Homo-oligomer: A and B are copies of this chain.
């Protein structure tokens, strides 16, 4: 298990076979030092990809994305979940349905901050069915920029997201990959492999 998987085992709460709660260190209360480690890990994995910009989505993507930006020395742009009155100018937009919250949001970024010269790393906290990541890919591609990869803090590998993105030729790098949440327990992909060896 890596540093994040250990933390999930220690502090994550399995609420059902589909829901893992990590609001004590990732998406409500945030552990800044863990975010630093996560940012460093993303930066190492994408160190040779010529990334010029990171794109994420409010709110829980911001902390890991900013730390990755710190190590990769590139700016971070966060997509907003609806059109803000103070964001003027032309926007790139996509629709994203959240099954967790059972709602559809328009997500948007300003055209000013991503353009066709950019090589973009997309970062988000969770990957489940892939809807948010697909929305981010869509707006980045609208700008003409190239998506160099998708960095995910926690992937629920038992849902479709990673497969859908990979089939589109996108590179997905997830720091923790959850094979199952059955029986109130978190099992990681690597753990299963380790058991088999």
Contact = CB atoms under 8 A, between A and B. Distances in A.
Interface of A: 15, 19, 21, 23-25, 28-33, 35-36, 58-59, 62-63, 66-67, 69-70, 73-78, 80, 84-88, 100-102, 109-110, 112-113
A69 B101 CA distance: 29
A61 to B, nearest CB: 10
Nearest to A102: B85
B28 A75 contact: no
A113 B29 contact: yes
Closest 6 CB pairs of A and B: A58-B59, A32-B69, A32-B70, A29-B113, A30-B76, A62-B62
Contacts of A66: 30, 32, 35, 63, 66-67
A110 B75 contact: no
Contacts of A15: 88
Contacts of A21: 86, 88
5 contacts: A28-B87, A29-B110, A30-B77, A59-B59, A85-B102
A78 B66 CA distance: 15
Given A58-B59, A59-B78, A59-B80, A110 B28 contact: yes
Given A30-B76, A62-B62, 6 more contacts: A24-B113, A25-B75, A28-B78, A31-B75, A85-B100, A86-B100
A86 B99 CA distance: 11
